[in-house]
Amino acid sequence: MRITMIGTGYVGLVSGACFSDFGHEVVCVDKDASKIEALERNVMPIYEPGLDALVASNVKAGRLSFTTDLAAGVAGADAVFIAVGTPSRRGDGHADLSYVFGAVHEVVAALTGPAVIVTKSTVPVGTGDEVERIVAEVGPEKGIKVASNPEFLREGAAIDDFKRPDRVVCGVEDDFAREVLAQIYRPLSLNQSAPVLFTRRRTAEIIKYAANAFLATKITFINEIADLCEVAGADVQEVARGIGLDNRIGRKFLHAGPGYGGSCFPKDTLALLKTAQDYESPLRIVEAVVTANDQRKRAMGRKVIKAAGGDVKGKTIGILGLTFKPNTDDMRDSPAIAIIQTLQDAGAVVRAYDPEGREQAEKVLNNVDYVDGPYEAAEGAAALVIVTEWDAFRALDLGRIKSLLTDPLLVDLRNVYPPVEAEKAGLRYVGIGK
């Protein structure tokens, strides 16, 4: 199949590279000339393990190319995937669909024959109908069909998630779109690595938001249970295991922590709430999840202050990990932002280390002293706080950490270390839900 990918952000670039690796011929289009130039030199705009090698090998094989010229990019395409951003609209939290509709306009105008326009960006229910209206207005005679194919890949594990997904969801309203998408995902159904689920288009659109809201709920649920464990004298990790072994619940996404962040959960839960409001069909559980998660991030800052004796004025606090999760440089809605701001508001001096996030962190945080390693972050600090569970923080020499700190306090917001291990090294340990 000949595939055009509009947008070379996380979803677009990973999907485009993986489709080409399936054997399809893929052209990735982006308006940002510097990004396209960089991609042509095999410089990735994001940090994602394995992506540069995947792009390089498919470019070399002649299956993957990049352009800023949308008209040339869509020429002869069987499917044009729309993978542009859908940020939260300022003020109301609605998904901002102007990039999606803008791209669709251009694509319809440029296409000369039948093709399927597929939304891969996360878009609210009914967006496909709107895309269809644009097709009817701009190019009704071209035989263009509209489908929805939400993407579930996670940052940091994006290639594996794309190639070995739990399922693929395709929302279609006609046989042509169904056939094109079936061909595109044939490599996955051939080796039976994933069920390809065909639904109506509106159903597919809801599936994506429902999945993200459910996962955000699962995390928030265990986070609140963690708070209860702390005051009631129980261990949340054992509780998570105890409930997670029940197959109906499942063990994944039950790691208590400082709250979820990232480019999807915060934005998509808000957008889903707006949709629910528009349809006057309240989602009270998701409302509670959003509020609880927002409040949790600052509460984590206060937790650190409390562990440090209630006053951090003038004290240095070392932070390990800034990104919203490991293996990414993404700082969007990272809990580290609210935690650091709370500490700074209380007068603390923040010293931080993150293996990949520094550049992005510098754009959103002020007055942070960045260092080049975990031990440097601990040096002369009154506490060391693990905010993101990078592998590099999993086997620290805790004795050395202790000797570097002025006050031997380890606040482990990801429960990386067993308390006894830290205590054996002479550290005072504060975890989550312990």
- Based on CB atoms, which residue is closest to ligand UDX, 21 or 389? 389
Residue 129 C-beta: closest distance to ligand UDX, Å = 23
SS3 per residue for 116-162: EEEECCCCCCCHHHHHHHHHHHHCHHHCEEEEECCCCCCCCCHHHHH
Residue closer to ligand UDX by CB (options 201, 325) is 325
Active-site residue, from 18, 28, 170, 264: 264
Q: Smallest distance from the beta carbon of 223 to ligand UDX, in angstroms?
A: 7
C-beta of 183 vs 214, nearer to ligand UDX: 214
Q: How far apart are CA 118 and CA 320, in angstroms?
A: 40
Tell me the closest approach of the beta carbon of residue 88 to ligand UDX, in angstroms.
Answer: 14
* 152 versus 393: smaller Cβ distance to ligand UDX: 152
Q: Minimum Å distance from CB 99 to ligand UDX? A: 18
The angle at the Cα of 158, spanning 44 to 31, to the nearest 5 degrees, equals 40
Nearer to ligand UDX, 133 or 251 (CB): 251
Q: Could you tell me the sign of the dihedral formed by the alpha carbons of 47, 159, 79, 205, in that order?
A: negative
Which residue is closest to ligand UDX by CB?
264
The residue ranges that bind ligand UDX (CB under 6 A) are 151-155, 212, 215, 219, 253-255, 257, 260-262, 264-265, 324-325
Rounded distance between C-alpha atoms, residue 258 and residue 274, angstroms: 25
Residue with Cβ nearer ligand UDX (408 or 433): 433
CA 353/CA 429 separation, integer angstroms: 20
The answer to whether 383 touches 307, Cβ cutoff 8 Å, is yes
Give the C-alpha separation, 289 to 222, whole Å: 11
Smallest gap from residue 152 Cβ to ligand UDX (A): 4
Q: How far is CA 367 from the centre of its chain?
A: 26
The DSSP code sequence of 192-246 is: TSS-EEEE-HHHHHHHHHHHHHHHHHHHHHHHHHHHHHHHHT--HHHHHHHHHTS
Distances from the Cα of 266 to the Cα of 85, 278, 341, angstroms: 14, 19, 19
Helix, coil or strand: residue 64: strand
Angle at 266 between CA 387 and CA 308, to 5 degrees: 25
Q: Go through the chain and tell me how many residues it has.
A: 434
In angstroms, what is the minimal distance from the CB of 103 to ligand UDX?
20
Closest CB to ligand UDX among 150 and 408? 150
Give catalytic status of residue 264 as yes or no.
yes
- Shortest distance, CB of residue 219 to ligand UDX, whole angstroms? 4
Q: What is the 3-state secondary structure (H, E, C) of 354-407?
A: CCCCHHHHHHHCCCEEECCCHHHHHCCCCEEEECCCCHHHCCCCHHHHHHHCCC
| Radius of gyration, alpha carbons of the chain | 23
38 vs 157, which CB is nearer to ligand UDX?
157
Judged by DSSP in three states, 77 sits in coil
Helices 201-232 and 127-138, packing angle to 10 deg: 150
Report in angstroms how near the CB of residue 215 gets to ligand UDX at its nearest.
Answer: 6
- Tell me the catalytic residues: 264
